């Protein structure tokens, strides 16, 4: 059934997006926004009771009590569908981690000469987690052993994933008691596929317990290793200055968009684009230089380490091409819409696929090989430059905002206590005193079925007003970056009095950009450190914190949500539950999971309700810890805040206000 077409203002809250959607509508160009308007979601599939795991179906269990041909109940079907989403999401993250381990191995063995160990301290830290002996080894020898140990975690024969030891001891006990400690990364994913095959696990609760086990293998295994390996190879992020939104594209330069998730090739392309030989080549074609910008999580990876600007988030990938100013869109893995190929046919843009795992019909495939990384990167840059003379009319929106990303957990620890006394103590103290009411991790995608960026923007604005520190990754982080919430100055405008004081003291933005989708593992690390720092209980489930993905759409987001719940967090997913038609299963992942692991998953589409429930949860956790009730009237008189008020006054009044006597 065709739906009503939304106006650009109804489809997005982002001005650059609205401008380009208006143009697309005028020119009759199709985008994911218009496709979402012209095609309603299948109600049976979206409610979770379509079963297509065998050739007798698909069975559509539309009536209460109806079963599939094999007799499978709606509960079994919904739980199987949910678990398969977790398997796909966990596989995507973890396979990304595995490839990074192979890159590290190749670099250590001297087969990938364009890569080096950028953070040897982190390499040694990884060695500690993986029980790899450090003494007497060169960096390369250690890197080889760490890479092999990391690869072993994907398919080890016995035991459990070693990184689970990074969780608070109380949490590890819960996993052990429930029997959901992941044995290795791959096994739990494979086992989901086995269990959900026709005629196997047919107890919804039992299937969902295993979904938690596989998701934990993602969060505390594949994703966490992916983050660490990226830091070892490309450097652990620290603050840099950059910009976000389509206004970062340049009218007089070759624009190359990098899109997807892996930093391995994109880091090389960024380096290649700065090569004087490449810049000279661009000038020979009439351009002033080469601009790199990113979409989705490849963007977040190169932003965090190199400050490469963000062109936009998931729903802006087609719009970047619509500017007419993009010579090449270079994609690797995950979240790449097939629609970009057809759209690019209207422009001079070359769409280049690079991963052996992700070819797209109609795109130019230039397969990446880490053994000759820079050579391929330069070929790609040259190809983009060759397109520049074919550029026609451009319409680059003016919108862009400054940001300071780069908040790895290592940097946060350092920012809070310095090199020798770095710790999460000041953060815990700020929460204990009530300056910071609690923490929200706002992560995840955009979804063409909900107004682009609206839920992200709304909830983050409200949390800041309520003195809640917001940490972000993925496309949610890009939404806040575009909104201007990622500069220290944003605290003056947007934060409540207590949070503002903390931001002033530390010099940090009220919303911290912590990286890409796999970097949600950084958030797990922060939570684990907060739980063991004392003062906020002994477990992640004790902390006044909430996780959310208000505009989720990918299976990876379901895996992330599930591992956060299994780690003890209250998680709110926006949009719609993939098991909304089967109340029993919806209750299993909320009340049921809460009674087992202390975390719960809820799906809420109303932004006001997301905020209300989050604050209620934070306040409930504060009360359980015996912390003072949140009272914003106690804060806001710090030196900087007073300076800002006083600076507006004439000099005599300033002196009187500051010292209580008039100027002589
Ligand atoms: S890119 S998984 S749309 S966050 Fe990581 Fe964005 Fe979601 Fe893809």
Assess contact for 14 and 452: CB atoms under 8 A: yes
Residue at 339 is within a domain: yes
Please indicate, yes or no, whether residues 423 and 304 belong to a single structural domain of this protein: no
Please indicate, yes or no, whether residues 543 and 418 belong to a single structural domain of this protein: yes
Residues 6+ apart with CB under 8 A from 570: 545, 546, 547, 599, 600, 602, 614, 617
**Which is nearest to 464 in space by CA: 444, 479, 485?**
485
Task: Give pLDDT < 50 ranges for the chain.
Answer: 1-2, 662-664
How far does residue 657's CA lie from ligand 1's centre (Å)? 50
Q: Using most ligand atoms within 8 A of CB, pick from 480, 557, 559, 574 the residue to mutate for ligand 1.
A: 557
The Cα 241–Cα 304 span in angstroms is: 9
Residues 6+ apart with CB under 8 A from 116: 107, 233
Determine if ligand 1 sits within 6 Å of the CB of residue 475.
yes
> What are the backbone angles phi and psi of residue 312, rounded to the nearest 5°?
165, 180
The Cα 504–Cα 492 span in angstroms is: 9
Q: Which of 201, 234, 267 is the last residue of a domain?
A: 234
pLDDT tens across 353-400, in order?
Answer: 999 999 999 999 999 999 999 999 999 999 999 999 999 999 999 999
Please indicate, yes or no, whether residues 444 and 480 belong to a single structural domain of this protein: yes
pLDDT at 662: 46
Helix (H, G, I), strand (E, B) or coil at 446: coil
Determine if ligand 1 sits within 6 Å of the CB of residue 556.
yes
Please indicate, yes or no, whether residues 658 and 565 belong to a single structural domain of this protein: no
Please indicate, yes or no, whether residues 79 and 196 belong to a single structural domain of this protein: yes
> What are the backbone angles phi and psi of residue 259, rounded to the nearest 5°?
-145, 140
Q: Using most ligand atoms within 8 A of CB, pick from 266, 295, 475, 550 the residue to mutate for ligand 1.
A: 475
Assess contact for 100 and 230: CB atoms under 8 A: yes
Determine if ligand 1 sits within 6 Å of the CB of residue 161.
no
The Cα 470–Cα 465 span in angstroms is: 11
Residue 41 structure tokens? 């979601």
Please list the alpha-helical segments (H only) found in 392-544. Answer: 409-421, 425-433, 454-465, 474-483, 490-494, 497-506, 520-532
Residues 6+ apart with CB under 8 A from 157: none
The Cα 594–Cα 572 span in angstroms is: 13
pLDDT at 432: 97
Helix (H, G, I), strand (E, B) or coil at 200: coil
pLDDT at 648: 65
Residue at 99 is within a domain: yes
Helix (H, G, I), strand (E, B) or coil at 33: helix
> What are the backbone angles phi and psi of residue 470, rounded to the nearest 5°?
-110, 130
In three-state form (DSSP H/G/I as H, E/B as E, the rest C), the secondary structure along 348-412 is CCEEEECECCECCCCCEECCCCHHHHHHHHHHHHHHHHHHHHHCCCCCCCCCCEEECCCCCHHHH
Assess contact for 550 and 455: CB atoms under 8 A: yes
Helix (H, G, I), strand (E, B) or coil at 548: strand
Question: Which atom of ligand 1 is least distant from the CA of 314?
Answer: 3
- Count of domains for the chain: 5
Tell me the residue length of the chain: 664
Helix (H, G, I), strand (E, B) or coil at 161: coil
pTM: 0.95
Assess contact for 423 and 445: CB atoms under 8 A: no
Residue keyed to tokens 């003291």: 505
Determine if ligand 1 sits within 6 Å of the CB of residue 260.
no
pLDDT at 656: 65
Question: Tell me, what CATH number does 228's domain have?
Answer: 1.20.1270.30
Tell the residue nearest (CA) to atom 1 of ligand 1: 296
396: left (phi over 0), alpha (psi -120 to 50) or beta: beta
Please indicate, yes or no, whether residues 230 and 254 belong to a single structural domain of this protein: no
Question: Which atom of ligand 1 is least distant from the CA of 444?
Answer: 4
**Structure letter (DSSP) for residue 224:** H
pLDDT tens across 453-485, in order?
Answer: 999 999 999 999 999 999 999 999 999 999 999
pLDDT at 458: 98
Please indicate, yes or no, whether residues 594 and 450 belong to a single structural domain of this protein: yes
Please indicate, yes or no, whether residues 254 and 372 belong to a single structural domain of this protein: yes
pLDDT at 631: 95
Tell the residue nearest (CA) to atom 7 of ligand 1: 445
Instruction: Count H helices and E strands in the chain, helices first.
Output: 30, 16
Assess contact for 115 and 233: CB atoms under 8 A: yes
Assess contact for 8 and 22: CB atoms under 8 A: yes
The Cα 523–Cα 412 span in angstroms is: 11
Assess contact for 48 and 60: CB atoms under 8 A: no
How far does residue 189's CA lie from ligand 1's centre (Å)? 20
Residue 482 structure tokens? 């575009």
Please indicate, yes or no, whether residues 324 and 225 belong to a single structural domain of this protein: no
Please indicate, yes or no, whether residues 325 and 410 belong to a single structural domain of this protein: no
Residue 302 structure tokens? 């190169």
**Structure letter (DSSP) for residue 222:** I
**Which is nearest to 36 in space by CA: 259, 296, 331, 339?**
339
The residue segments making up the domain with residue 491 are 404-630
Residue 203 structure tokens? 């107890």
Residue at 68 is within a domain: no
The Cα 32–Cα 37 span in angstroms is: 9
Q: Which of 366, 390, 414 is the last residue of a domain?
A: 390
Residues 6+ apart with CB under 8 A from 244: 309, 310, 312, 400, 401, 403, 478, 481, 482, 486
Residues 6+ apart with CB under 8 A from 69: 56, 57, 59
Please indicate, yes or no, whether residues 215 and 352 belong to a single structural domain of this protein: no
Q: Over the Cα atoms of the chain, what is R_g?
A: 25
| Residue 178: how many other CB atoms lie within 10 Å | 14
Determine if ligand 1 sits within 6 Å of the CB of residue 552.
no
Residue at 247 is within a domain: yes
pLDDT at 636: 82
Residue at 294 is within a domain: yes
Tell the residue nearest (CA) to atom 3 of ligand 1: 445
Distance separating the N- and C-terminal Cα atoms of the chain: 78
The Cα 193–Cα 197 span in angstroms is: 6
Question: Tell me, what CATH number does 524's domain have?
Answer: 3.40.50.2030
Residue at 69 is within a domain: no
Determine if ligand 1 sits within 6 Å of the CB of residue 89.
no
* Exposed/middle/buried for residue 567 (C-beta within 10 Å: 0-12, 13-18, 19+): buried
Residue at 228 is within a domain: yes
Please indicate, yes or no, whether residues 78 and 145 belong to a single structural domain of this protein: yes
pLDDT at 4: 80
Residue keyed to tokens 């310095």: 418
Give yes or no for a cis peptide into 3 (omega within 30° of 0).
no
Residue at 3 is within a domain: no
**Structure letter (DSSP) for residue 452:** B
Strand partners, 219: none
How far does residue 474's CA lie from ligand 1's centre (Å)? 5
């Amino acid at each position: 059934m065709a739906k009503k077409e939304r106006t650009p203002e109804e489809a997005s809250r982002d001005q650059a997006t609205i401008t380009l959607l208006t143009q697309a509508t005028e020119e009759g160009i199709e985008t994911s926004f218009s496709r979402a308007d012209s095609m309603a979601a299948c109600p049976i599939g979206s409610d979770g009771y379509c079963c297509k795991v065998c050739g007798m179906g698909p069975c559509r269990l539309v009536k209460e009590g109806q079963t599939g041909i094999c007799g499978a109940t709606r509960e079994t079907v919904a739980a199987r569908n949910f678990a398969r989403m977790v398997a796909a999401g966990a596989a995507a993250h973890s396979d990304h981690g595995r490839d990074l381990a192979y890159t590290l191995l190749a670099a250590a063995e001297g087969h990938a000469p364009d890569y080096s160990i950028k953070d040897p301290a982190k390499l040694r830290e990884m060695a500690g987690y993986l029980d790899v002996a450090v003494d007497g080894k060169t960096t390369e020898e250690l890197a080889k052993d760490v890479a092999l140990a990391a690869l072993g975690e994907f398919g080890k024969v016995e035991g459990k994933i070693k990184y689970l030891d990074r969780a608070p001891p109380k949490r590890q006990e819960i996993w052990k008691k429930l029997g959901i400690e992941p044995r290795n990364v791959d096994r739990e994913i494979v086992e989901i596929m086995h269990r959900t095959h026709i005629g196997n696990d047919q107890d919804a609760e039992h299937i969902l317990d295993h979904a938690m086990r596989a998701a934990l293998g993602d969060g505390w295994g594949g994703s966490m290793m992916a983050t660490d390996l990226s830091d070892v190879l490309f450097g652990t992020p620290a603050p840099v200055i950059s910009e976000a939104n389509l206004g970062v594209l340049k009218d007089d330069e070759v624009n190359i968009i990098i899109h997807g998730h892996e930093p391995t090739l994109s880091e090389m392309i960024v380096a290649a684009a700065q090569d004087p030989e490449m810049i000279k080549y661009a000038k020979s074609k009439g351009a002033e230089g080469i601009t790199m910008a990113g979409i989705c999580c490849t963007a977040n990876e190169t932003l965090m380490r190199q400050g490469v600007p963000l062109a936009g988030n998931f729903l802006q990938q087609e719009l970047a091409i619509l500017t007419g100013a993009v010579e090449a869109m270079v994609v690797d893995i995950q979240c790449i819409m097939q629609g970009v190929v057809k759209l690019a046919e209207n422009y001079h843009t070359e769409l280049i696929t690079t991963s052996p795992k992700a070819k797209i019909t109609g795109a130019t495939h230039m397969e990446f090989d880490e053994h000759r990384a820079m050579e391929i990167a330069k070929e790609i840059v040259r190809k983009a430059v060759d397109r520049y003379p074919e550029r026609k009319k451009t319409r680059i929106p003016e919108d862009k905002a400054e940001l300071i990303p780069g908040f790895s957990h290592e940097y946060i620890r350092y920012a809070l206590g310095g090199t020798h006394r770095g710790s999460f103590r000041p953060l815990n103290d700020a929460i204990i005193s009530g300056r910071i009411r609690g923490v929200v991790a706002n992560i995840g995608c955009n979804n063409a079925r909900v107004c682009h960026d609206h839920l992200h923007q709304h909830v983050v604005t409200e949390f800041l007003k309520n003195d809640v520190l917001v940490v972000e990754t993925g496309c949610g982080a890009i939404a806040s970056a575009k909104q201007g919430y990622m500069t220290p100055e944003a605290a003056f405008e947007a934060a409540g009095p207590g949070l503002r004081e903390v931001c002033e003291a530390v010099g940090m933005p009220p919303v911290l950009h912590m990286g890409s989708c796999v970097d949600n593992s950084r958030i797990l690390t922060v939570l684990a450190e907060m739980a063991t720092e004392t003062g906020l209980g002994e477990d992640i489930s004790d902390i006044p914190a909430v996780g959310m993905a208000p505009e989720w759409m990918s299976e990876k987001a379901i895996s992330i949500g599930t591992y956060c719940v299994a780690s003890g967090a209250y998680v709110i997913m926006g949009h719609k539950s993939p098991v909304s038609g089967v109340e029993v299963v919806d209750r299993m992942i909320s009340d049921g999971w809460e009674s087992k692991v202390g975390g719960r998953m809820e799906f809420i589409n109303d932004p006001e309700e997301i905020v209300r429930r989050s604050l209620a949860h934070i306040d409930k956790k504060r009360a359980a810890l015996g912390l003072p009730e949140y009272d914003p009237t106690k804060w806001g008189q710090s030196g900087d805040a007073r300076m800002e008020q006083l600076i507006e006054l004439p000099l005599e009044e300033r002196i009187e206000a500051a010292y209580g006597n008039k100027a002589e």
